[in-house]
Amino acid sequence: MEKNNLSKQQIDKNLVKKRFARSAQSYGKYAIVQQRMAKKLVQKLLLATNNHTYNTIFDIGCGDGTLTKLLLAQFHPETLIANDIVDDFQQQIATIVQKHPATNTKFTAGDIEAIPLPDNIDLIASNAVFQWLNHLELFYKRLVKQIKPTSTIAFTTFGTNTLPEIKQITGQSLNYLPFNEHHKLISKYFKIIYAHEETDIQYFENPIEILKNLKQMGVNAIKPRHWKRRDLIAFSEEYTQNFTHNNKVRLTYNPIYFILKRKTD
């Protein structure tokens, strides 16, 4: 199978928008790893910041509201600002916030690398989004200028060992940074309160189920790819040969968690 080595390529934001918009209805059903990450992020946030509460929360790349729901239920903020590059998620967020009438909600659509960041935020949160950014360091520089001395940032992303099976066969992968590089970069700008990486392996009946799963989550937004029948057969054979365990095929994720504050010096 022809491999595309995309390791230095920029992310095509229009394609990201298109693929995530298409997955808007199915994402919640398939994004099992991202749901686990959202839950764990909130748990770690509570522990690391001693059950602190937040009046104003900004959720970057909120998607269908997987993390947003948990933030609302846990912190009952006065104000929630939800952002996503896909405008259509506004409807899903509106449905979620109906259950929280005491919270004022605003949805700001747009690429977080291009739109202005809001002021006066107590908690900036984001689950499984930053791997889609092109200029992470520039983004951190903007964040650190924007936050208050008391603000907290809590986010998850994915490290290098994410979907290595797909990369090995197709050559396609996002430019995932290893955990230690994230750590090094972040410590230039922020005080790290919590940092953790883990491996999360999912098992599927066959490789075609894996491709479907990635599509339903919008995670296939790296490069347009038109699979021919023979590509699918070759992909399935190679995948099965290399990654079968107890009659199932595996798919590996490498979730990364960070909780940050502004540096005091």
Amino acid in position 96? I
Measured from the CB atom, the residue of 49 and 90 that comes closer to ligand SAM is: 90
Smallest gap from residue 150 Cβ to ligand SAM (A) = 24
Candidate residues 42, 54, 56, 66; the one interacting with ligand SAM per rule CB under 6 A: 66
Candidate residues 42, 44, 63, 235; the one interacting with ligand SAM per rule CB under 6 A: 63
Smallest gap from residue 186 Cβ to ligand SAM (A) = 18
* 105 lies in the binding site for ligand SAM (CB under 6 A): no
**Alpha carbon distance 125, 257 (integer Å):** 11
- Which residue stretches of the chain are H helix? 13-22, 27-30, 32-48, 66-75, 89-97, 136-146, 164-170, 179-189, 207-217, 229-243
Q: 261 pairs with which residues across the strands?
A: 152, 191
* 34 lies in the binding site for ligand SAM (CB under 6 A): yes
Candidate residues 56, 75, 84, 107; the one interacting with ligand SAM per rule CB under 6 A: 84
Spell 78-96 as b/e; 16+ CB within 10 A means b. Answer: ebbbbbbbbeebbebbeeb
Smallest gap from residue 64 Cβ to ligand SAM (A) = 7
Q: Is 60 helix (H, G, I), strand (E, B) or coil?
A: strand
* 165 lies in the binding site for ligand SAM (CB under 6 A): no
Note the maximum CA span of the chain.
59
* 163 lies in the binding site for ligand SAM (CB under 6 A): no
Smallest gap from residue 260 Cβ to ligand SAM (A) = 17
* 129 lies in the binding site for ligand SAM (CB under 6 A): yes
Smallest gap from residue 210 Cβ to ligand SAM (A) = 16
Residue 259 CA, chain-centre distance (Å), reads 15
Q: Which two tokens stand for residue 232?
A: 């699918």
Positions in the binding site for ligand SAM (CB under 6 A): 16, 20, 31, 34, 38, 61-63, 66-67, 83-86, 111-113, 127-129, 132-133
